[in-house]
Structure 1
Amino acid sequence: MSGIDLFLNYVQRSSFITIIVLSWLSIYFIISFTILFSRMAGIAAWQKREQNALESLLMGAKNIPNESSLRKCAGSKISREKLNVCISVAEKNATSGLTWLSIIASTSPFIGLFGTVISILETFSQLGNGANSSLGVIAPAISEALVATGAGIFVAIPAYTFNLLIKRKAYELTSTIEREADVLIALKREENEI
């Protein structure tokens, strides 16, 4: 039997709840990868812009470079309070999507377990209706029921990993922006001393 035949045979024997559980987990899986690719690409480009802005400031630029996210909210008068607000906004934007990844990572195993429990209950209910109750009948049914638990764990692991990867990239970005803010405050202090 080919893989497609095995899959179609499994789906044909599965209950409505099991199919819903596997569909739900499939959607979670797709969402996890979508968040990973979109956030990593966005944060990487943003990090590059902020790094360029930081390097410009370190090389002697007197104004906030256009590519810096601090430019949007610092205005003409630079203060630590305004810069802290900018940093907080940047951190919020950089970490978007992490809540969904956390939800997916924490709920996927339970969704899979729910599918397994329902399948096992259906198997035992069919056995109670006078069906053959030998190990040869029970073992394959229980084995098929465990597919949902395996699928839940299979979805949770990448979601948790992606959460950590994006969190780290967001931390690096926020650190770069904080260094920019520190340089701007130092430049302002130097101007005031002159």
Structure 2
Amino acid sequence: MINSLLDFYLKSHPVTLGVLVLLSVYFIVLNWVFFYRYFSINSWLEKENASLESLLLGTSTVSADSFLNNFIKTNTNIGREILDLAMLAATKEATKGLSILSIFASTTPFIGLFGTVVSILDTFTHIGQSSGSMSIISSGVSDALVATAAGIFVAIFAYTYHQMLKRKSFELIGALQMQSDAILARKA
């Protein structure tokens, strides 16, 4: 295993190695963003669901832990405008991190492909300098495809994480919207 990794390192073009390092950094960042945002949104969603449940059971206002409470407690006249502003602020907060996951999901296959193209060009250069046999071609192309595989691997996780966080954000905004509607219905 270590010999094959060392062999891969010695045969690979520096650009391909740089691409693999960049994709590794992307993978670390996207995992950090996902897990940080996932647990924070889950915690927030639990608070909002508890607040919604208490509203539905007859309390007159949202709980102190609710995001809407920040907007309600500072205004004596609670109306649609204030609650809409709260919803916009909540949507902005809930969707933080989605853009970076979306960017990673869409760009990492191309970054991997770039590394592959450079490696294949390097393989053809070596073939031209020596008597090119099929084993040299197949070895060079298989090593080059590692970068594409790495790019697709990172993209799969980035896209999956993006969709999971998007769904959690949707659930959170739905809970806030239901609380907002309940407050307005009580006022009417």
Pick the TM interval, shorter chain: over 0.9
Q: Which residue of 1 aligns with 2:132?
A: 133
**What is aligned with 2:152?**
153
Query: Match for residue 24 of structure 1?
Result: 22
Q: Note the aligned Cα RMSD (angstroms).
A: 1.0
Match of 1:76 in 2: 76
Return the TM-score normalized by structure 1: 0.92
Match of 1:192 in 2: none
Partner of 1:33: 31
* CA positional deviation for 1:27: 0.9
The percent identity for this pair of structures is 44
| Poorly superposed stretches of 4+, deviation over 3 Å | none
Alpha-carbon distance in 2 for matches of 1:126, 1:137: 9
Q: Could you report, residue by residue, the CA deviation over 1:92-120 in whole angstroms, capped at 9, with x for unpaired residues?
A: 11111110001100001000000000001
Corresponding residue of 1:107: 107
> Offset at 1:171?
0.1
Following superposition, the deviation at residue 128 of structure 1 comes to 1.9
| Structure 2 residues not aligned, in runs of 5+ | none
Aligned length: 186
Tell me, yes or no, if the aligned pair for 2:34 and 2:161 is still in contact at 8 Å.
yes
Moved more, 153-162 or 56-65: 56-65
Q: When the two structures are superposed, what TM-score results if normalisation uses the length of structure 2?
A: 0.95
The 3-state SS of whatever aligns with 2:15 is helix
Which secondary structure does the structure 2 equivalent of 1:55 belong to? helix
Q: Distance in 2 between matches of 1:15 and 1:81?
A: 58
CA-to-partner distance for each residue in 1:134-178, whole Å, 9 max, x for gaps? Answer: 101111011100110111101100110110000000000000000
Match of residue 53, structure 2, among 52, 55, 60? 55
Q: Counterparts of 1:60 and 1:158 in 2: how far apart (Å)?
A: 43
Q: In the alignment, which residue of structure 1 is the partner of 2:164?
A: 165
Q: Where do residues 172-187 of structure 1 align in structure 2 (5 Å cutoff)?
A: 172-187=171-186
C-alpha distance in structure 1 between counterparts of 2:105 and 2:6, whole Å = 27
